[in-house]
Structure 1
Amino acid sequence: MTVDVNTAFAQAKAEQIEPMHAEARAFQERIDRGEIRPLGGDRYEVLTGWDAGETFIVQRSTEGRIEQILAQHGLDTTTGGAALYTTTPAWHGLGAVIPGGISDIDEVLKLARIDWEVSKRRVLYEWDDGVRVAADRYVTVRTDSGEALGTVGGRYEVFQNRRVFEFLQDLVQRYDAIWESAGALRGGRKTFVTMRIPRSIVIDRGGLDDEIILYLAAINSHDGTSQAESVVTPWRIACGNTERFASQDAVHRWGIRHTKGGLSSLELARRTLGLTLNYAKTFEAEENQLVRTDLLIDDFHELVDSLWPVDDDATDRTKAFIRGRHDQLDGMFREQARKLGRTAYAAERTVTDFLDHRTQVVPRNLSEDLTRAQRTLEGTHDDLKTKAHRQLLSLAR
């Protein structure tokens, strides 16, 4: 069985958006549960699940009834179409889909609608005696539309879209690689390109055959707000959400400053990538240990209790919530055990699935408290996953 987060995300989107169109009440119910918060006007933000951070636009009738809910993909549409090339159809159904993919950079640039360049222009401002030039300040401008993307300093080096493709080719020393996806976000302020790493992680080869596919992606900023970066990630970037997920879930991240030598440190980058591939081998070996380790249901309960300890002075309401969470995790583990066997690997998959897709925040109100709570929650997930992995690995050893 191949574990592909991209397929799971697309399925989740289809399962989520279509029922919203069929029954508008579901949207309000998600707001009531604290899964979605209003941003003002007709915009809403999702707080949990695969699409946490995504925004929706809600179109209402004159009577206030929800008529249409539109997911915001974040892709650039400056040229009249979505700036996306991909080998696999995305959840939003946009972009140029080329099954099997292509290796020619210029063709991908054209299909992805990012065959434009960026130039630096002096910042001018009006003053009493006319127009003046701001010292050492420049505007980055798209050469096809003239749109201003951001403001930068004199030492800022523009990384052209084509150069980023060449950087990835030089990095892996392959010039026939198939490009998985490419495109632009937020009016061209960000661009991305993704290629698949030849070696994937296979867990329990010949048995479960769970394959985790990894991609090498480069994310470039043209607005001066962030450095460029290369990431090794399980995500194939195809929208604003997956760009965010690719960075959040990166196995490896290597930042690239917008300077003249920023794309030249290939040996350091290759060395870091090599460490990443070694990490993948280590991770695969550890996961295979978990597959071979039987786990009693009591051991799983102890793991849950250690991940979410109960304070001695917890209120009855809190204790009831914890019991509900405990029962939910117990049911999820038993379901995983039916498919994967009652093993430490099934326990880890249960905890990961719960943290990624089942955790909810129910705030006191839908304002700053919710945003603060959600940020705190997101910051602890990786720690909990790591803690669970280490504890289960100690049992395996």
Structure 2
Amino acid sequence: MSITDVNTAFAAEKTSQIESARGRERAFQARIDRGEIRPLGGGRFEVLVGYDRGEIFTVTRNALGEVSGIIAQHGLDARADGTIALYTTSPAWHGLGQIIPGGTSDIDDVLQLGGLDFDVTTVPAFYQWDGQLRQQPDQFHTVRKDTGAALGIVGKRYQPIQNRQGFEFLQELVGRYDVVWESAGLIKGGRRVFIAIRLPDTVTIDAHGINDLIVPYVVVINDHTGRGTFQCMVTPWRPVCANTERFAVRDSVTRWAVRHTAGATDQIKEARRTLGLSFQYFEAFAAEETALARTDIAVTDFHKAIADLWPLEEDATNAKKTNFATRLGALDSEFRTETARVGRSAYAAERAITSYLDHVAPRRPGKTMTEEIARATAAFEGADDDLKSRAHKRLMLLTRP
């Protein structure tokens, strides 16, 4: 006959729970101490390393102040069944979406998994006046056929480029290069959708030195608001920090776009030729980045480059001087991080500037956006492409005697 002492059992159970909670707290604090994440205040934290770098999450705590959960600020839309509208071949930082290890080569599966399997139509725009409903001449709304949600206001010449029509030209590349669809998803309720494939060949920067790998992707974005274009680009992705960036090779052909008008789907075929031209620039890109990697740079030279990119007038206001100092401090921090990885080189300087623009530079979000969504949208749209290109050209001057 066995006798159970409920008090002893209760004490043991509570001790186990407390130790488990303390273990989670210690593990979380250890990540902060190792520099993997940093507190932003208000329970918000930023990821500093790895695949998730630059992303923001919120930690919730229970009545005892113990870590009880993590809320991901992913900013992605939901599909009709309530799941997140994202297809990806590997887990994203937030762990959401339809993850297919190894990916798929079937475009219909990608469109369905990513929530892109909907068409867009246009309907007349109406307004209320003096108790009557009137039609606005030559103005229409773009509307999702599956949900009826309005996406934008367009003119009479606008013709939607359907998601499948716009993306299916990549299917030829998928077959030719024996690659899979890498990711697909939508933001802003389907106003903007994206899809990407990863090409099989990688670009090596300074093979006998830092041996940094660049993976080329083809990214296509379709805009249904009437304010944007259908665009296609070749972009390298540095897996070390998941830092998407555009080519910074002088005037290389990396982007192609067409407006939503009659015959646009036929013009999309031109993107094939543009992509072919873009691929030719990878060798030039690798050569220039290798030259940067082999060029030592002093902190003073880095600061001179920053001053050229973000000039400060002599009669600048105190507010502008403060902003300049804040930016310089943030760039110095990024530079230290990169020099620890690849040495104090012009390549580290370029990576620091790119990382600052992608992950740190302030973004003013719209009314329906968080700063994180605004930052992701800016990266997709290439808002800082010109500045990145100027930075590349400025640093390339240091490689020449």
TM-score (norm 2): 0.64
RMSD: 4.9
Shift of 1:162: 1.3
SS of the residue corresponding to residue 298 of structure 2 reads helix
In 2: Cα distance, 1:96 partner to 1:88 partner: 9
CA distance in 1, matches of 2:128, 2:316: 62
1:137 paired residue among 118, 136, 139: 139
**Residue in 1 that maps onto 2:193:** 191
Task: Compute the displacement of 1:189 (Å).
Answer: 1.3
Cα distance between partner residues in 1 of 2:121 and 2:91: 32
Tell me, yes or no, if the aligned pair for 2:334 and 2:352 is still in contact at 8 Å. no
Q: Structure 1 198/67 Cα, relative in aligned 2: closer, same or farther at 3 Å?
A: closer
What amino acid sits opposite 1:385 in the alignment?
A: A
Return the match for 1:386 from 386, 392, 396: 392
More moved, 321-330 vs 119-128: 321-330
Q: 1:225 aligns with which of 220, 224, 227?
A: 227
Would the aligned equivalents of 2:204 and 2:286 in 1 still touch at CA under 8 Å? yes
Compute the displacement of 1:193 (Å).
0.7
Contact 1:329 1:351 in 2 (8 A): no
Match 1:115 to one of 108, 117, 120: 117
Number of aligned residue pairs:
329
1:211 to 210, 213, 224: 213
Give matches, 1:356-371, under 5 Å. Answer: none
* Distance (whole Å) between structure 2 residues aligned to residue 386 and residue 89 of structure 1: 32
Which residue number corresponds to residue 298 of structure 2?
300
Q: 1:50 is aligned with what amino acid?
A: G
| Counterpart secondary structure, 1:232 | strand
Please name the residue that 2:165 is paired with: 163
Contact 2:126–2:136, Cα closer than 8 Å, also in 1: yes
Matches within 5 A, 1:301-320: 301-308=299-306
Compared CA separation, residues 380 and 302, structure 1 to 2 (3 A): farther
C-alpha distance 394-112 of structure 1, shift in aligned 2 (>3 A): same
Secondary structure (helix, strand or coil) at the match of 1:122 reads strand
- Which structure exhibits the higher relative contact order, with contacts defined as CA atoms closer than 8 Å and separated by 6 or more residues? 1
Return closer, same or farther for 1:125/1:378 CA change in 2, 3 Å cut-off. closer
Residue 6 of structure 1 corresponds to none
Q: Equivalences for 1:305-344 in 2 at 5 Å?
A: 305-308=303-306, 329=332, 340=342, 343-344=345-346
- Over residues 183-207 of structure 1, what are the superposed CA-to-partner deviations in whole Å (9 max), with x where a residue is unaligned? 1111111111111123332112355
Deviations 1:19-63 (A, max 9, x none): 7xxx997415999xxx9xxxxxxxxxxxxx935xx8x899999xx
How far the C-alpha of 1:303 sits from its partner, in A, is 1.4
Task: Report the AA paired with residue 222 of structure 1.
Answer: H
Structure 2: 5+ residue runs without aligned partners?
1-27, 47-52, 249-253, 364-374
Percent of aligned pairs sharing the same letter: 41
Distance 1:343 1:58 in 2: 37
Task: Say if 1:304 and 1:326, in contact at 8 Å, map to a contact too.
Answer: no
Are the aligned partners of 1:140 and 1:151 in contact in 2 as well (CA < 8 Å)? yes
8 Å Cα contact 2:174-2:181 kept in structure 1: no
- When residues 95 and 308 of structure 1 are mapped into structure 2, their CA distance, relative to the original with a 3 A threshold, is closer
Residue of structure 1 aligned with 2:99, choices 97, 100, 107:
97
Deviation at 1:176, TM superposition (A): 5.6
How far residue 217 of structure 1 moved from its aligned partner, in angstroms, is: 1.0
Alignment gaps of 5+ in structure 1? 1-14, 36-48, 237-241, 362-373
1:286–1:393 CA contact under 8 A, matched in 2: no
CA-to-aligned-CA distance 1:335-355 (integer Å, 9 cap, x gap):
766654565545544555566
Larger Rg: 2
Q: Is the 8 A contact 1:78 1:187 kept in 2?
A: no
Corresponding residue number in structure 2 for 1:370 = none
Q: State whether residues 84 and 183 of structure 1, in contact with CA within 8 Å, keep that contact through their aligned partners in structure 2.
A: yes
Q: CA deviation at 1:276?
A: 2.1
